[in-house]
Structure 1
Amino acid sequence: MRARAAGLALGFAADRMFGDPARFHPVAGFGLMARDVERQVYRNHRTMGLAYTSVLVGGVATAGLLAERVVAGRPVMRTLLTAATTWTALGGRSLSQEATYVRAWLDADNLPEARQQLTHLVGRDPSNLDQQEISRAVVESVAENTSDAVVAPLLAGAVGGVAGIAAYRAANTLDAMVGHRSPRYREFGWASARLDDVLNLVPARVSALLAAVLAPVVGGRPEAALRTWTRDARRHPSPNAGPVEAAFAGALGVQLGGTNVYGERVEHRPTLGDGPVALPTDIDRSVRLADAVGLGALAVSVVVALKRRR
């Protein structure tokens, strides 16, 4: 398991140094394949959606298992395989960069460009958002995606190795593609959405706990983050985004939540936290907290990997 732990650490370092692979990204390739399969098998009911999710996620997990068997008994190769898989699954550096780009446009008083840049982070309609609403959207995205794109893949790797990372990333990608509540995907994407919910139950709460413990990094108080998490998380429509966003709100001392527009659909979400609305300066603070949470998750994942016997 030392090879697994070392691979996770190397993959994390690669993500922080290089970001996403510039070309031939495996996750992008999986997304293209999933889209092609969807065109062939799409039916507007849950049974076909379940088969679609099972085959794609199961196929990726099987490929990961086979790859680990090929390098069994060769610790260096297993370390490198784990590192490469971890690197392609993580999105911490890209998340931080996108948030920083939005902040730069806000500093330049260029709302049109800030709104356009925001589309790289969130699915909501940014066309009428002001500076504060853009800042809130960025902080919410940084919180949620730190759990989805950093903490969860690391924990999946610690428990399941290469197969675990690959299966988690496949499920998370399918959720982003077909797991939303549009008329087309309400039934077909149900299985993908529920699988992603299940796989993120533990990582989301680990993320929230780390955000609370590490609140002093951004001048916050752990007790305030814990109080906001336990009080407000259930208000969020997502069982996993709720704890993370509430813990970040408490740690940063800001208020998140409110009205979000997704095309023709409008969501009025309850607020999380007691502080003032988020400002552009809170984007930088959220990135610092997210980076700290990522390091904390790496430490936890390495310990978990080393404690496992096989």
Structure 2
Amino acid sequence: MNSFWILPASLLLDLGFGDPQGFPHPVRFIGKFARYMEKLTRKYISSERFAGIITALSVYSLSSIFPWLIIEIFRHLHPFLGELVSAFIIYTSIALKDLLDHSKDVYSALQENDIAKARTMVGRIVGRDTVNLEEPEIVRAGLESVGESLVDGITAPLFFAALGGPAFAMLYRSINTLDSLFGYKNNTYLKFGWASARMDDLANYIPARLTAPILCISSAILGFHPLRSFKILIRDGKKHPSPNSGLCEAALAGALKIQLGGRNYYSGIPSEKPKLGDPDRKLVPNLILDANRIIFLTSILSSILFLGLVQAAYLLYRNFFQS
């Protein structure tokens, strides 16, 4: 990006407006186009894996080319208009405010001692069964959602936006969306969703490994437990079946001196998740607010780091290859 103000402006837009209800969000169009391509490729391509690859490539291409074309149109009208549209597109790729708001809804319901409402609220941000969860498990579900969503909902799109502007941010959002739609290990999507799942792992690899140490630093600034955060990150971060999802969850568990993971139920079927951290503290509602503070600061520091790294790389390239 030519202007450093675009990324901070995008974050401010998100913090101010979140995802307005009824707004034609680009991610919804990505999802609809992906479903259309799924039907089309499954109909005409016999190989499920190849059909999934063609679907993924089609969605990735459209998701990056379309915003680039829009920005170029506005940039020809006036350069500043192009920058405004760029900030708006990046804003639609991140979800910091929604993540904080949804977890606060869970906290508020627990503060009201309304377990039924808390189960409903946490059910909006997790995929597990929530109908029988008690307070500690509701808190755990909320914290795990916040820790896992930090990368794919906030820092990864910020990383790609810093790296390649709005087109890269929407490319990442399409990668993450396809993984959400097709990245299931069941009979329907095991082969078809193979490419989508692998690409999501690849796209999140660097952002996750940059974000987790920043979370440790954020915990130090906010007065939590940075050494424990780093220790648990190193010890437990790779226990998760996903190569990326466990890193920030482990760092968050260490920062709060709690244990995440354990048994979850999905459609009534139990699933054992690796345990991250040590159970030094009970899982109480106030931990949700503590986690939100850490997530917020980590998001801000990450955007600063990403812009700094890109600027440093650009200066290095210019000094050594264009001198």
What band does the TM-score fall into relative to the shorter chain? Answer: over 0.9
The 5 A counterparts of 1:10-89 are 10-22=9-21, 23-42=23-42, 45-70=48-73, 71=75, 75-89=79-93
CA distance, structure 2, for counterparts of residue 218 and residue 282 of structure 1 = 13
Determine which of 284, 287, 296 is the counterpart of 1:282. Answer: 287
Q: Secondary structure of 1:256's match?
A: strand
For residue 135 of structure 1, report the CA deviation from its aligned partner. Answer: 0.4
Partners of 2:77 and 2:234 in 1: how far apart? 45
Mapped pair 1:293 → 2:292: no
SS, match of residue 260 in structure 2: coil
Bigger mean CA offset, 30-39 vs 92-101: 30-39
Structure 1 residues not aligned, in runs of 5+: none
- 1: CA distance, partners of 2:237 / 2:282: 17
Could you say what secondary structure the match of 2:301 adopts? helix
Alpha-carbon separation, structure 2, partners of 1:66 and 1:95: 30
Using the alignment, how far apart are the partners of 1:113 and 1:183 within structure 2?
34
1:65 positional shift: 3.4
Separation of aligned partners in 2, 1:48 and 1:276: 48
Say yes or no: does 1:216 pair with 2:215: no
| TM-score, structure 2 normalization | 0.90
Equivalent-residue separation in structure 2 for 1:277 and 1:188 (angstroms): 42
Where do residues 1-310 of structure 1 align in structure 2 (5 Å cutoff)?
1-3=1-3, 5-22=4-21, 23-42=23-42, 45-70=48-73, 71=75, 75-274=79-278, 275-307=280-312, 309=314
Secondary structure of 1:258's match? strand
Q: What does the per-residue CA deviation read over 1:145-171, in whole Å, with 9 as the maximum and x for residues that have no partner?
A: 111111000100111111100100011
Q: Give the secondary structure class of the aligned counterpart of 2:13.
A: helix
Bigger drift between 248-257 and 265-274 goes to: 265-274
What fraction of aligned residue pairs are identical, expressed as a percent? 33
Contact 1:64-1:163 at 8 Å conserved across structures: yes
Task: Determine which structure has more spread, i.e. the larger CA radius of gyration.
Answer: 2
Looking at structure 1, the residues matched to 165 and 313 of structure 2 have their Cα atoms a distance apart, in angstroms, of 11
- Relative to structure 2, which stretch is displaced further, 36-45 or 114-123? 36-45
The number of residues matched between the two structures is: 309
Q: Distance in 1 between matches of 2:105 and 2:161?
A: 30
Alpha-carbon contact 2:107-2:285 (below 8 Å) kept:
yes
- Supply the distance in 2 between the matched residues of 1:190 and 1:154 (Cα, whole angstroms): 25
Q: Give me the whole-angstrom Cα distance separating, in 1, the residues matched to 2:77 and 2:304.
A: 25
The alpha-carbon distance between structure 1 residues 217 and 282, as it changes in their structure 2 partners (threshold 3 A), is farther
Q: CA deviation at 1:20?
A: 1.1
Deviation at 1:265, TM superposition (A): 3.8
One-letter code of the match for 1:143?
G
Q: Are the aligned partners of 2:38 and 2:52 in contact in 1 as well (CA < 8 Å)?
A: no
Q: Aligned to 2:271, what secondary structure does the other structure show?
A: strand
Distance 1:37 1:265 in 2: 31
How far did 1:74 drift?
5.2
Distance 2:223 2:186 in 1: 40
Using the alignment, how far apart are the partners of 1:252 and 1:73 within structure 2? 50
Deviations 1:237-282 (A, max 9, x none): 1111111100111111111010111225422122111133422111
Pair 1:264–1:194, CA change in 2 (3 A): farther
Q: Secondary structure at the match of 2:133?
A: coil
CA distance in 2 between counterparts of 1:175 and 1:247 reads: 24
Aligned counterparts of 2:310 and 2:71: Cα–Cα separation in 1: 15
Q: Residues of 2 paired with 1:176 and 1:54: CA distance?
A: 16
Partners in 1 of 2:309 and 2:238 — Cα distance?
A: 28
Cα distance in structure 2, aligned partners of 1:292 and 1:286: 10
TM-score if structure 1 supplies the norm length?
0.93
Q: Per-residue deviation at 1:54?
A: 0.9
